[in-house]
Amino acid sequence: MTRLNVWLLAGMGLPAAFAATCAAAQNYPTKAIRMIVPFPPGGPNDILGRVMAQKLTEQLGQQVVVDNRGGAGGIIGAELAARAVPDGYTVLFGGTAPLAINPGLHKSLPYDPLKDFAAISLVGTAPSMLVAHPAVAIRTVKDLIDLAKAKPGQLNFASAGIGTPPHLAGELFKSMAGVDMVHVPYKGGGPALTDLLAGQVGLYFSGISSALPFVKEGRLRGIAVTSAKRTAVVPDMPTIAESGLAGYEVGNWYAILAPAATTPAVVTRLNTEINKALAVAEIRKRFLDLAADPVGGTPGELAVYMRSEIAKWAKVIKLAGIKPE
């Protein structure tokens, strides 16, 4: 057989292969989809992931099953998702730690957030709230900066552990405000909040849902939220950015991604369904009840956002000299 004949035969097969691919995408999904959540059950990643899984199940007509694979700050679950067959039947409900913080925190990762995943959609953001024990004589961000500059190294802030979002929120605040505060790491957000309530530490960049009840009771003082714009969760509370630290922005974010070689048709279908779900009033209310702002968007927007987040946290981690535990 001549080379020309081979090329002609191959060319004749292309339309059929293309048609088969298109048909498969149109029929997708034909079986259950596994949504890997790289954290244990019960946390915000898990709860929001289940909210989305339930709604997507209704819309797609196939079960979206949450598979919790916690451990190593999200590394175990993220690697599992990255190595999955890219057929659209495994997705990752990832976010800040595994996709933005870990690349700057660890010298080597078993996955690359940008190369090993196909971005599908940002789902939501959950800003933190800077809270203080009432014994700390501050009511605004300006008060805090002034006090920290007057008493360098005397104020402290709690975190859920080294390299966690609350820790990095504090380090970013320190670098942008030019202040010296002492980081006090705990083994989780619960112990950090407990010691803050007891006055053992003065400040904490807390999840809003955890801190808000104590702020309402007067046991803690809410200073500002960490989002770029005010959040619908607590619309009357100012942001750190508008309170004197322009450009400051920190928040946990949640996104859905697939293995890198997943076909564009499947990515588009999932993106459409995710955005459709996030437009439903009931889902938006569920997010706000969980102290998260529903977002949505395109795969391209998520990819750009991830790049900026990775660069931002790598800079903060390097500047603060943070090493993983």
Give 32's contacts (C-beta < 8 A, 6+ positions apart). 62, 63, 64, 65, 89
pLDDT of residue 43: 87
- Burial (CB count <10 Å: 0-12, 13-18, 19+), residue 261: exposed
Q: Are 250 and 128 in contact (CB under 8 A)?
A: yes
What is the Cα–Cα distance from 317 to 311, expressed in whole angstroms?
A: 10
pLDDT tens for residues 266-320?
Answer: 999 999 999 999 999 999 999 999 999 999 999 999 999 999 999 999 999 999 9
Element (H, E) at 120: strand 117-132
Identify whether the C-beta of residue 162 lies closer than 8 Å to the C-beta of residue 324. yes
Predicted TM-score (pTM) of this structure:
0.88
pLDDT for 20 equals: 45
Q: Residue 231 and residue 132: Cα distance in Å, rounded?
A: 19
Residue 183 has pLDDT above 70, yes or no: yes
- Domains (range + CATH), the chain: 8-125+252-320 (3.40.190.150), 127-243 (3.40.190.10)
Residue with tokens 């088969």: 20
- pLDDT above 70 coverage of the chain, percent: 92
Q: What pLDDT shows up at residue 261?
A: 97
pLDDT tens figures, 55-110: 999 999 999 999 999 999 999 999 999 999 999 999 999 999 999 999 999 989 99
Q: Which long-range contacts (CB under 8 A, 24 or more apart) does 135-143 make?
A: 135/199, 135/202, 136/202, 136/203, 136/221, 138/221, 138/223, 139/221, 139/223, 140/223, 140/224, 140/243, 140/244, 141/223, 141/224, 141/238, 141/240, 141/243, 141/244, 141/245, 142/243, 142/244
At 67 the three-state DSSP class reads: strand
* pLDDT of the residue at 157: 98
3-state secondary structure (DSSP) of residue 186: coil
**In whole angstroms, what is the distance from residue 128 CA to residue 252 CA?**
8
